Amino acid sequence: GVYASGDSGGGVRTVKYAPDGTPAWTATYTNSSSYLAFQSFAVDNDGNSYLVPFDLDAKSFVTIQYDINGNSVWTNTFKSSPTSIESPSDVAVDASGNIFVTGSSIDGGTIQFLTIKYASDGSTLWINPYSLVGSESADRVIIDPQGNVIVVGDSQGGGAQHKYVIVKYSNSGTLLWTNAIAAANYVGGGVPQVTTDPSGNVFIVGGTPGAASSAADYTSVKLSSAGVPVWTNRFFESGA
């Protein structure tokens, strides 16, 4: 089936469509005390789906599991401390049905990556924060063919020159390696996108180092499965 999910009147509505385009089910997640904004969505091999909205009032991670028929199975919320702001950005599911949610945690002036692994029943398996210089915002999480977890985001570090930060964990949450590559001179820089090949090599696409938002172009970087840079290619179209 095909899934569509997005904001709806302070909540988040998800629709599953059958192959012929007819709606199979519709589910709306709301919270009477909070305004919610859609962030990410994923589907596992059994047809269960996972919605991650941002709770703008509670400032917390929220993860909802729907079964194959659109029934809500469990809902998890996470907040590091009473004063923290947790902003989720992405969700991924591995072949075993484990769920990985990443985003940013802000507390006491420090901004850092925050990644959580849930089992298929919603129980929390591990929680990993990561900070390079205390100004990191996680944007993407993917699972490589070996089951490792790769998180990518942006680091400003108090200066104009941004960096893309890549963090690789084992499926059990062990930190395997980190890398930081030069990024564009503006927040997001096209938002770093990430994928892997069957061998576990990592490919990052984002704004070209030094580029400003008024003259944006893109650079692709290949890292080996061990996090070592292999090559860098820039795409720039004159006048674009």
Tens digit of each residue's pLDDT (9 = 90 or more) over 97-154 = 999 999 999 998 889 999 999 999 999 999 999 998 888 889 999 999 999 999 999 8
The token pair at 176 is 């395997």
> How far apart, in whole angstroms, are the C-alpha atoms of residue 25 and residue 30?
17
The token pair at 18 is 């059958």
- Contact between 124 and 143 (Cβ < 8 Å): no
Q: Which residue has the higher pLDDT, 119 or 161?
A: 119
In terms of Cα–Cα distance, which of 117, 110, 40, 48 is closest to 78? Answer: 117
Model confidence at 16, pLDDT cuts 50, 70, 90, reads: very high
Tens-digit pLDDT profile for residues 180-223: 887 766 554 556 789 999 999 999 988 777 666 555 678 889 99
Give phi and psi for 132, each to the nearest 5: -90, -55
Q: What is the DSSP letter of 135?
A: B
Write the DSSP assignment of 213-240 as a string of letters. GGG--EEEEEE-TTS-EEEEEEE--TT-
- Contact between 138 and 166 (Cβ < 8 Å): no
pTM, whole model, 2 decimals? 0.91
> How far apart, in whole angstroms, are the C-alpha atoms of residue 225 and residue 52?
28
Model confidence at 156, pLDDT cuts 50, 70, 90, reads: confident
In terms of Cα–Cα distance, which of 235, 92, 217, 218 is closest to 151? Answer: 92
Tens-digit pLDDT profile for residues 25-72: 999 999 877 899 999 999 999 999 999 999 888 889 999 999 999 999
Reply yes or no on whether the pLDDT at 84 is more than 80.
yes
Cα 59 to the chain's mean position, in Å? 16
Model confidence at 85, pLDDT cuts 50, 70, 90, reads: very high
What is each CA distance from 15 to 10, 29, 45, 54, 191, in whole angstroms? 16, 12, 18, 19, 27
